[in-house]
Structure 1
Amino acid sequence: MIPAARLQAAIEILDQVITAARDGGAAADTIIQRYFTTRRYAGSKDRRAVRDLVFAVIRSLGERPVSGRAAVIGHARAQDPSLLALFGAAGHAPPALVHGEPAASSGLAPAWLQQMLAERFGPDADRQLAALLGRAPLDVRVNAMRASRDAVLADHPDWQLLAATAHGVRLPSGTNVEDLPEYQAGQIEVQDAGSQLAAATLAARPGETVVDLCAGAGGKTLALAADMRGPEDDRGRLIACDTDRARLSQLPPRAARAGATVETRLLNPGGEAGALADLMGSCDAVLIDAPCSGSGTWRRNPESRWRLTRERLVRLAATQAMLIELATLLLRPGGRIVYIVCSLLPAEGESQLADTQLGGTLGLAPWQSRILTPADDGCDGFFIAQSSRL
């Protein structure tokens, strides 16, 4: 593909990404993969170049553009003027530019989200936001049930120790993890350093009854299982729950590969308490990796800035409050609760805990919280809070 044809491909993909962001469709990565599945003539260099351009455009535009063409024009004017010369070129180039046609404006995030983040970070907001839109590293967690971090690092001098974590390692960008013998042997799992720190906050121990209330495909569940390692008859009980059947179904094979014993429970939305009735008041620890805006993971999914609306944020906050109440009911006296969102919006963090007035209504000790950010901690953005049942 000539450069002008690559530009046209990027415009066509961006049209689909913009529509998907508006209507709740597929992620950008999935759209790009599907696009090239039907275009076998595009070589690997073409696919990589188009993908890089698509994500460069997405990262440079805070507000959702009206079209892929407007997105590229706006990006080109602000970041890469050489692209403008490709409009109207020969071959499969996009049509020539027309005076006065729409062009997107560059920015870090939609204005209303940028204001919320400014409230959190104050004068440091621009630095924090810029880091949120950088490229994410490739982190893995060494599975302590299968290997030691020191042994894994000894075999790979180019892998980097993540000192802030107990088992984290950073791999060179572009590494195909699933092809590594360590992955196939269940010795490593892909997991961002921040996610590892969040799971470790629960301090799960052998012999305990632990619930991962929003387990998804089980990344944090497997980290909890490794913390609960010990003699097979003394590992305790680990229950992974979720309302998403497809995601939860990925956990059993992952657990088998990791050497973990995990129970799974598929919950019906609105009927979660009934499905967990037998565990009420008996759990030692509950982890809530709550559904959220994902604003802390914009490095990985920059188009998610275009998906979020005020209405959706309100719905997410209601779900988060329900999950905190449910988790509290599951705990025995003295049991521990950890609430996590991969979000840096105060509405899903401190304000969420304040609005639910948990200390007064649910019998919890005062919350202790921390935030992690790409700019300060080199990992995805997280809000992490912990408490215990009085």
Structure 2
Amino acid sequence: MTPGARVQAAIEVLDLVIAAARANGAPADRLISDWFRTRRFAGSKDRRAVRELTYRAIRACGEVPETGRAAMLRVATDDPELSALFDGSGHAPAIIVAGEPVAEAGIAPHWLVDRFAASGVSEADATTLLDRAPLDIRVNTLKAGPLDMPEGGERSVAVHGWRYPPETRIEQSEAYLQGAIEVQDTGSQLTCEVVAAQPGETVIDLCAGAGGKTLALAAAMENTGTLIAADADRTRLSRLAPRAERAGATGIETVLLNPNKEMQALQRFAGAADAVLVDAPCSGTGTWRRNPEARWRLTEAQLARYAAIQSRLLDVAAELVRPGGRLVFVTCSLLDEEGADQAVGFLRRHADWRAEMPVLPAGTPRGEGLRLSPWHGGTDGFFVARFHRL
């Protein structure tokens, strides 16, 4: 493909990404893969270039662009070399016409920028959400013996964490193939450390999803005790079993939940758990480095629904914890509606609970919990709070 053809290809992919964002369709990475699947003529360098152009345009536009061309023109506005490729030759994009639509630059849609400001996130800080994220891994302590770590990494602030450049192909390493390491953001690892799961305890991962945090808890518990991975999404929960087998994590019990009727499936654990982790569904505003188009998908109505779900799940979790036990609330969000405000609301509703400020090597206090972020510690954005039942 010529350089101009690569730009036109990125414009076509961006049209798909924009349409999917408006319709809550497939994520950008899947759309890019599908686009190339029917275009065998494109080589590896072409694929890499188109992908980079696509994500460059996504990161450059705050509001949802009108078209893929408008998104790419936003990038070309500040890049004369890219602008010159709009020459109409061959498969290149058409010549730029004065006055044609150019997407608006920005961090996010205006309403979200306002919510960030209200949550103590400055514009300068928020811009780091559009950087590329590093590749973080967790050493799996369930795999005994010396570990030959892949080259190019360095220790992170997580107890068992390492960090690599974003382009590292860690899945091809021997350590990964043997299950000795797991891909997991440093912030995610730190939130698991807040749980402080111990061997022999009864621990419930209430929103386990595909089980990334469950596996970290299993390692901390040394495959002893009772570990429950619960979720309402059957498909995501089904991915845990093969991951657990690869990691050597045994004794994990999966529980499929019925939304709004979670206690029906968990009644046998009422008042019995030493610890419950609530990694609640949320807006994902802290993960934009990995999914930058997600900021085009979120609406105020969706944010309100997430906040309501989080409050309800916190109340469910409270029923599961024994006196003297602990509850850890986590969201990958930087908005107070899904963080500090949730912690305050929980304590107001439950007089027999107290907050315990997490102690971590990263993050800054936010209300009754900690905020982890790209600009303080280089992690994804998280809010984490820990509560103790009297």
Q: Normalized against structure 2, the TM-score is what? A: 0.93
Aligned with 1:213 (options 197, 206, 224): 206
Matched, 1:202 2:214: no
Q: Which amino acid aligns with 2:112?
A: L
Deviation at 1:121, TM superposition (A): 3.1
CA positional deviation for 1:202: 0.4
The Cα shift of 1:72 comes to 0.9
| Partner in structure 2 of residue 84 of structure 1 | 83
**Contact in 1 for aligned 2:13/2:31 (Cα 8 Å):** yes
SS at match of 1:54: helix
Partner of 1:363: 352
For the 8 Å contact 2:279–2:330, the answer to whether it is kept is yes
Q: Secondary structure at the match of 2:112?
A: helix
Pair 1:271–1:155, CA change in 2 (3 A): closer
8 Å CA contact retained: 2:150, 2:170: no
CA drift of 1:178 comes to 2.1
Q: Secondary structure at the match of 2:230?
A: strand
Alignment of 1:36-51 (within 5 A): 36-51=36-51
> CA RMSD of the aligned region, Å?
1.5
Q: Which moved more, 1:66-75 or 1:335-344?
A: 66-75
Map 1:8-19 → 2, pairs under 5 A: 8-19=8-19
The amino acid of 2:257's aligned partner reads L
Q: 1:188 aligns with which of 181, 185, 194?
A: 181
Matched-pair contact (CA < 8 Å) for 1:325–1:362:
no
- Partner SS state of residue 32, structure 1: helix
CA distance in 2, matches of 1:325, 1:126: 34
Deviation at 1:367, TM superposition (A): 5.3
| Separation of aligned partners in 1, 2:214 and 2:132 | 26
Describe the SS at the equivalent of 1:337: strand
Q: Is the 8 Å Cα contact of residues 121 and 128 (structure 1) preserved in structure 2?
A: no
- 1:1-390 to 2 correspondences below 5 Å: 1-77=1-77, 79-121=78-120, 125-147=122-144, 151-152=146-147, 155-156=149-150, 158-162=152-156, 164-229=157-222, 235-261=224-250, 262-354=252-344, 356-361=345-350, 363-366=352-355, 368=357, 369-390=369-390
SS at match of 1:206: coil
Deviation, 1:69, is 1.0
In terms of fraction of residues, the more helix-rich structure is 1
**In structure 2, how many angstroms separate the alpha carbons of the residues matched to 1:243 and 1:272?**
8
SS in 2 for 1:388: strand
Structure 1 residue runs of 5 or longer lacking an equivalent are none
Please list the CA deviations of residues 22-52 of structure 1 after superposition, one character each: whole Å capped at 9, or x if unmatched: 1111111010000000000011001100100
| Paired residue secondary structure (1:144) | coil
The alpha-carbon deviation at position 171 of structure 1 amounts to 2.4
Separation in 2 of the partners of 1:306 and 1:147? 44
Quick check: 1:359–1:365 contact (8 Å CA) kept in 2?
A: no
Say if 1:127 and 1:375, in contact at 8 Å, map to a contact too: no
